[in-house]
Amino acid sequence: MTATPLLSLRGIGKAYGPVVAVREVDLDIFAGEVVAICGDNGAGKSSLIKVISGAEEATSGTLQMRGKEVIFASPHDALSHGVATIYQDLALAPRLSIAQNVFMGSELTRPLLLPFLRVLDKKRMAQEARGFLKQLSVTVEDMDRPVERLSGGQRQAVAISRALRWKAEIIIMDEPTAALGVKETALVLDLIRRLKADGRTVLLISHNMRDVVALADRVVIMGAGRKYVDQALGDLTADDLSHMIMAGNARAA
């Protein structure tokens, strides 16, 4: 491919004291792709994601966005560069409303009486939150409803809405279907297809090879902190992927 990658990792390493979780990973993500990152527990997927999402800084290596070096020292840095992460535990506040969750950390305000006095624009936030959910084909009427009263799939939609709110180009999803039932999983897979159709780039971390086969354009397989497979999905089946992961484990051992 000749196009400049949207996001490039060069020689990324992450160590926790003496424990090395990620070693020398190079990875290019192109706009509009769905890239699945697979690997067994302890393969280094989560640590790699934490580096890309700004939750933790890499111990070595560099990140580039569109060919320019960037430093993600905090989740806020990553978000403002258009990289949003949806964590396994969703990182939602269960008792807060849908609107409060979607706009958490990036609330809309309007001026009140005095030019420097700005108050929350709750009406617009509710309106826009409803819009994001609609875009994801999820209809919930009441934006004041606490997230704890939503189904698992709806919660994913709220979490994705937050990423949309940040105008994220790259959306990282950590095990989005791990805790869900069959119907909810179908809903979430559909949400991811919608994001792709919308031209967004998705980095999918999953243990579920069927999800990966259903969604990914490209698979990256990690083992013992290294990337050892990076190829287009092509005709690979879920079984093939499982074998590749196990082969990687064998090599790492």
Instruction: Give the per-residue contact string, 136-155, with other proteins (x = CB under 8 A; - = no).
Output: ----------x-xx------
Q: Nearest-CA neighbor of 204 among 226, 181, 220?
A: 220
Q: Does 74 bind other proteins (CB under 8 A)?
A: yes
Q: How far is the CB of 124 from other proteins (least distance, A)?
A: 14
Q: Does 91 bind other proteins (CB under 8 A)?
A: yes
Structure token digits, residue 195: 């994001």
Q: Does 79 bind other proteins (CB under 8 A)?
A: yes
* Region binding other proteins by CB under 8 A among candidate stretches 63-71, 117-125, 176-184, 230-238: 117-125
Strands (E), the chain: 7-16, 19-29, 34-38, 60-65, 68-70, 83-86, 109-112, 114-120, 170-174, 201-205, 218-223, 226-232
SS3 224: coil
**Contact with other proteins (CB under 8 A) among 11, 26, 69, 94:** 94
Q: Does 216 bind other proteins (CB under 8 A)?
A: no
Query: What distances in angstroms separate CA 157 from CA 27, 33, 137, 219, 242, one per listed residue?
Result: 28, 20, 9, 24, 28
SS3 185: helix
Q: What angle do CA 69, 168, 41 make, to 5 degrees?
A: 80
Nearer to other proteins among residue 47 and residue 85 (C-beta): 85
Q: Nearest-CA neighbor of 74 among 57, 91, 90?
A: 57
Nearer to other proteins among residue 45 and residue 162 (C-beta): 162
Total residues binding other proteins (CB under 8 A): 29
Instruction: Give the per-residue contact string, 224-253, with other proteins (x = CB under 8 A; - = no).
Output: ------------------------------
- Chain residues binding other proteins by CB under 8 A are 53, 55, 74-76, 79-80, 85, 87, 90-96, 100, 104-107, 109, 118-120, 146, 148-149, 162
